[in-house]
Amino acid sequence: MFLYFSIGISSSLSCSEKFQNTNPVGKSFPNIQGNALDGKLWQLPKALTGQASLLLLGYQQESQFDIDRWLIALDMRKVQVKLYEVPTIKGWVPRLISGRINEGMRSGIPKELWGAVITVYKDGERLQKFTGNINPRNARIILLDTQGQVRFFSDKGFSVPSLNQLIKEFDFLKTASQTH
Protein backbone atom coordinates (compact mmCIF):
# COMPACT_ATOMS: atom_id res chain seq x y z
CA MET A 1 0.00 0.00 0.00
CA PHE A 2 1.20 3.44 -0.78
CA LEU A 3 0.18 6.40 1.30
CA TYR A 4 0.18 9.22 -1.09
CA PHE A 5 -0.14 12.59 0.62
CA SER A 6 -0.74 14.56 -2.54
CA ILE A 7 -0.03 17.97 -1.13
CA GLY A 8 3.53 18.40 0.14
CA ILE A 9 2.56 21.06 2.64
CA SER A 10 0.35 18.64 4.55
CA SER A 11 3.30 16.36 5.19
CA SER A 12 5.55 19.16 6.35
CA LEU A 13 2.91 20.64 8.65
CA SER A 14 1.66 17.38 10.12
CA CYS A 15 4.47 17.06 12.68
CA SER A 16 5.46 20.68 13.21
CA GLU A 17 4.68 20.49 16.95
CA LYS A 18 6.88 17.95 18.73
CA PHE A 19 5.59 15.56 21.39
CA GLN A 20 8.05 13.45 23.35
CA ASN A 21 7.96 9.76 22.42
CA THR A 22 6.26 7.53 24.98
CA ASN A 23 5.66 3.82 25.24
CA PRO A 24 1.89 3.34 25.66
CA VAL A 25 1.99 -0.41 26.41
CA GLY A 26 -0.62 -1.17 29.07
CA LYS A 27 -2.64 1.96 28.32
CA SER A 28 -6.04 2.21 26.66
CA PHE A 29 -5.90 3.41 23.08
CA PRO A 30 -7.51 6.87 22.90
CA ASN A 31 -10.99 7.26 21.44
CA ILE A 32 -10.54 8.68 17.96
CA GLN A 33 -12.50 9.01 14.76
CA GLY A 34 -11.29 8.44 11.23
CA ASN A 35 -12.55 7.67 7.77
CA ALA A 36 -11.43 4.72 5.70
CA LEU A 37 -10.60 5.42 2.08
CA ASP A 38 -13.79 3.50 1.17
CA GLY A 39 -15.81 6.17 3.04
CA LYS A 40 -16.67 4.18 6.18
CA LEU A 41 -16.55 6.14 9.45
CA TRP A 42 -14.52 4.42 12.17
CA GLN A 43 -14.59 4.96 15.93
CA LEU A 44 -11.37 3.49 17.28
CA PRO A 45 -10.80 1.45 19.36
CA LYS A 46 -14.55 0.80 19.83
CA ALA A 47 -14.95 -0.65 16.33
CA LEU A 48 -12.16 -3.15 17.05
CA THR A 49 -13.46 -4.44 20.39
CA GLY A 50 -13.53 -8.21 20.59
CA GLN A 51 -10.56 -8.89 18.33
CA ALA A 52 -6.85 -8.26 18.51
CA SER A 53 -5.90 -5.63 15.93
CA LEU A 54 -2.68 -4.19 14.58
CA LEU A 55 -2.51 -0.48 13.77
CA LEU A 56 0.31 0.93 11.66
CA LEU A 57 0.31 4.68 12.24
CA GLY A 58 2.09 6.98 9.83
CA TYR A 59 2.67 10.63 10.69
CA GLN A 60 4.42 11.60 7.45
CA GLN A 61 4.43 10.37 3.87
CA GLU A 62 7.93 9.03 4.51
CA SER A 63 6.46 6.67 7.15
CA GLN A 64 5.22 4.51 4.30
CA PHE A 65 8.67 2.98 3.78
CA ASP A 66 8.67 1.68 7.36
CA ILE A 67 5.04 0.56 7.12
CA ASP A 68 5.80 -1.36 3.93
CA ARG A 69 8.67 -3.19 5.64
CA TRP A 70 6.33 -4.24 8.46
CA LEU A 71 3.64 -5.31 5.97
CA ILE A 72 6.05 -7.40 3.92
CA ALA A 73 7.52 -9.08 7.01
CA LEU A 74 4.08 -9.83 8.47
CA ASP A 75 3.00 -11.32 5.15
CA MET A 76 6.17 -13.39 4.83
CA ARG A 77 5.64 -14.74 8.36
CA LYS A 78 1.94 -15.39 7.53
CA VAL A 79 0.68 -13.47 10.57
CA GLN A 80 -3.13 -13.50 10.46
CA VAL A 81 -4.10 -10.36 12.35
CA LYS A 82 -6.70 -7.68 11.62
CA LEU A 83 -4.45 -4.94 10.31
CA TYR A 84 -5.15 -1.28 9.58
CA GLU A 85 -2.95 1.49 8.23
CA VAL A 86 -3.74 4.74 9.99
CA PRO A 87 -2.33 7.85 8.29
CA THR A 88 -2.49 10.39 11.10
CA ILE A 89 -2.25 13.99 10.00
CA LYS A 90 -2.80 16.76 12.51
CA GLY A 91 -3.44 20.41 11.83
CA TRP A 92 -6.08 22.59 10.28
CA VAL A 93 -4.45 22.89 6.83
CA PRO A 94 -4.48 19.12 6.23
CA ARG A 95 -8.10 18.98 7.43
CA LEU A 96 -9.03 21.65 4.89
CA ILE A 97 -7.53 19.64 2.05
CA SER A 98 -8.29 16.17 3.42
CA GLY A 99 -10.35 15.29 0.35
CA ARG A 100 -7.38 15.89 -1.94
CA ILE A 101 -5.04 14.02 0.38
CA ASN A 102 -7.39 11.03 0.54
CA GLU A 103 -7.84 11.07 -3.23
CA GLY A 104 -4.07 11.01 -3.64
CA MET A 105 -3.85 8.00 -1.32
CA ARG A 106 -6.64 6.21 -3.20
CA SER A 107 -4.74 6.65 -6.45
CA GLY A 108 -1.83 4.59 -5.06
CA ILE A 109 -3.74 1.89 -3.18
CA PRO A 110 -5.77 -0.95 -4.75
CA LYS A 111 -9.49 -0.39 -4.18
CA GLU A 112 -9.94 -3.68 -2.30
CA LEU A 113 -7.58 -2.36 0.41
CA TRP A 114 -9.28 1.02 0.94
CA GLY A 115 -11.33 -0.27 3.89
CA ALA A 116 -8.14 -1.02 5.85
CA VAL A 117 -6.68 2.49 5.45
CA ILE A 118 -8.25 4.79 8.04
CA THR A 119 -7.20 8.42 7.79
CA VAL A 120 -7.26 10.49 10.97
CA TYR A 121 -7.26 14.28 10.74
CA LYS A 122 -9.34 15.81 13.55
CA ASP A 123 -7.88 13.54 16.23
CA GLY A 124 -4.38 13.50 14.74
CA GLU A 125 -2.89 15.59 17.53
CA ARG A 126 -4.43 13.32 20.18
CA LEU A 127 -2.76 10.27 18.58
CA GLN A 128 0.58 12.01 18.18
CA LYS A 129 0.51 13.05 21.84
CA PHE A 130 -0.34 9.44 22.80
CA THR A 131 2.74 7.96 21.09
CA GLY A 132 4.98 10.97 20.60
CA ASN A 133 6.11 12.14 17.19
CA ILE A 134 9.88 12.51 17.48
CA ASN A 135 11.37 10.74 14.43
CA PRO A 136 8.05 10.96 12.56
CA ARG A 137 9.35 8.94 9.59
CA ASN A 138 9.20 5.86 11.79
CA ALA A 139 5.78 4.24 11.83
CA ARG A 140 4.09 3.64 15.16
CA ILE A 141 3.17 -0.04 15.39
CA ILE A 142 0.43 -0.76 17.92
CA LEU A 143 -1.08 -4.13 18.79
CA LEU A 144 -4.40 -3.79 20.60
CA ASP A 145 -5.98 -6.56 22.61
CA THR A 146 -9.71 -7.34 22.47
CA GLN A 147 -10.46 -4.49 24.91
CA GLY A 148 -8.44 -1.77 23.15
CA GLN A 149 -5.41 -1.96 25.45
CA VAL A 150 -1.99 -1.51 23.88
CA ARG A 151 -0.10 -4.81 24.15
CA PHE A 152 2.83 -4.04 21.83
CA PHE A 153 4.35 -0.80 20.62
CA SER A 154 7.29 0.09 18.42
CA ASP A 155 8.44 3.44 17.08
CA LYS A 156 12.09 2.57 16.36
CA GLY A 157 11.67 1.51 12.74
CA PHE A 158 11.31 -2.05 11.51
CA SER A 159 13.61 -4.71 12.95
CA VAL A 160 13.43 -8.49 13.07
CA PRO A 161 13.67 -8.57 16.90
CA SER A 162 10.68 -6.16 17.10
CA LEU A 163 8.76 -8.29 14.61
CA ASN A 164 9.47 -11.41 16.68
CA GLN A 165 8.30 -9.67 19.85
CA LEU A 166 5.10 -8.51 18.11
CA ILE A 167 4.38 -12.05 16.87
CA LYS A 168 5.04 -13.48 20.34
CA GLU A 169 2.59 -11.02 21.91
CA PHE A 170 -0.02 -11.65 19.21
CA ASP A 171 0.31 -15.42 19.66
CA PHE A 172 -0.18 -14.93 23.41
CA LEU A 173 -3.37 -12.94 22.75
CA LYS A 174 -4.68 -15.62 20.38
CA THR A 175 -3.99 -18.37 22.90
CA ALA A 176 -5.63 -16.38 25.71
CA SER A 177 -8.77 -15.73 23.64
CA GLN A 178 -9.06 -19.43 22.70
CA THR A 179 -9.03 -20.50 26.35
CA HIS A 180 -11.92 -18.18 27.26
135-170, pLDDT tens digit by residue? 999 999 999 999 999 999 999 999 999 999 999 999
> Which residue from 150, 133, 137, 146 is spatially nearest to 180, judged by alpha carbons?
146
- Residue 168's alpha-carbon distances to 33, 79, 95, 119, in angstroms, are 29, 11, 37, 28
Alpha-carbon distances, residue 154 vs 41, 49, 127, 142, 149 (angstroms): 26, 21, 14, 7, 15
The Cα–Cα gap between 116 and 160 comes to: 24
Residue 121 lies in a domain: yes
pLDDT in tens, 65-122: 999 999 999 999 999 999 999 998 865 555 555 556 656 665 666 778 787 889 998 8
Domain tally, the chain: 1
First to last CA, the chain: 35
| Position 1 in a domain | no
Q: Would you say residue 122 lies in a domain?
A: yes
Distance of CA 96 to the CA centre of its chain: 21
Q: What is the pLDDT of residue 6?
A: 34
Q: Residue 56 in contact with residue 70, Cβ under 8 Å?
A: yes
pLDDT value of residue 49: 93
* Residue 11 scores a pLDDT above 50: no
Residue 110 lies in a domain: yes
Query: Would 51 be classed as within a structural domain?
Result: yes
Would you say residue 2 lies in a domain? no
The mean of the pLDDT values for the chain is 85
54 belongs to a structural domain = yes
Domain range for 119 is 8-178
- Find the CATH number of the domain harbouring 63: 3.40.30.10
Question: Looking at per-residue confidence, does 97 or 37 come out higher?
Answer: 37
